[in-house]
Structure 1
Amino acid sequence: MHSVIMAIHEGEWVVDQGSFGASPIPCRIDGEVSGYTFSWARVLEPTEEIDVDAVVAAATAAFEEAGVEASTATFGEGDRQEVNVIGTGGDVGRGVVTIRPGRNQISASATPGCIPGDAADLSDMVFGGQFVYKGASLRFPAFEGPDWQPRFYFPEEGSPLYYIEDGTPIDPQPTQTEFPVAPYGE
Structure 2
Amino acid sequence: MPDQITSEDLFARAAELNGSFKSAVADVQGQVWTEEWQVADYGDMPTDCGADDTFRFSMSRHLPAVSGEGWRFPADPAVMRDELAQWMEANGYRDVTGLSYTGDVDTLTLTARNVDAGIAEITVQYHPGEVQDGIDVSAKSVCADGDVDDLAEVIFPGIYEDAFLEWTYPETERPDDTPIFGFTEDGQPR
Q: One fold, TM greater than 0.5?
A: yes
Mapped partners of 1:88, 1:163: distance in 2: 34
Describe how 1:1-186 pairs up with structure 2 within 5 A. 1-16=25-40, 19-29=41-51, 34-45=53-64, 47-49=71-73, 51-69=76-94, 70-77=96-103, 80-90=105-115, 91=117, 92-102=119-129, 104-130=133-159, 132=165, 136-138=166-168, 140-153=169-182, 163-164=185-186, 180=190
TM-score (ref. length: structure 2): 0.66
The alpha carbon displacement at 1:6 in A equals 1.0
Contact 1:59 1:97 (8 Å CA) reproduced: no
Structure 2 residue runs without a partner (length 5+)? 1-24, 65-69
Secondary structure in 1 aligned to 2:50? strand
The alpha carbon displacement at 1:110 in A equals 0.6
Contact 1:127 1:152 (8 Å CA) reproduced: no
Aligned length: 151
The one of the two structures with greater contact order (alpha-carbon pairs below 8 A, sep at least 6) is 2
Structure 1 residue runs without a partner (length 5+)? 155-161, 166-173, 181-186
Secondary structure in 2 aligned to 1:97? strand
Mapped partners of 1:57, 1:111: distance in 2: 22
TM-score (ref. length: structure 1): 0.67
Contact 1:98 1:107 (8 Å CA) reproduced: yes
Mapped partners of 2:35, 2:99: distance in 1: 25
Deviations 1:146-170 (A, max 9, x none): 431121257xxxxxxx6549xxxxx
Mapped partners of 2:147, 2:185: distance in 1: 25
**Percent identical residues:** 24
Mapped partners of 2:34, 2:89: distance in 1: 19
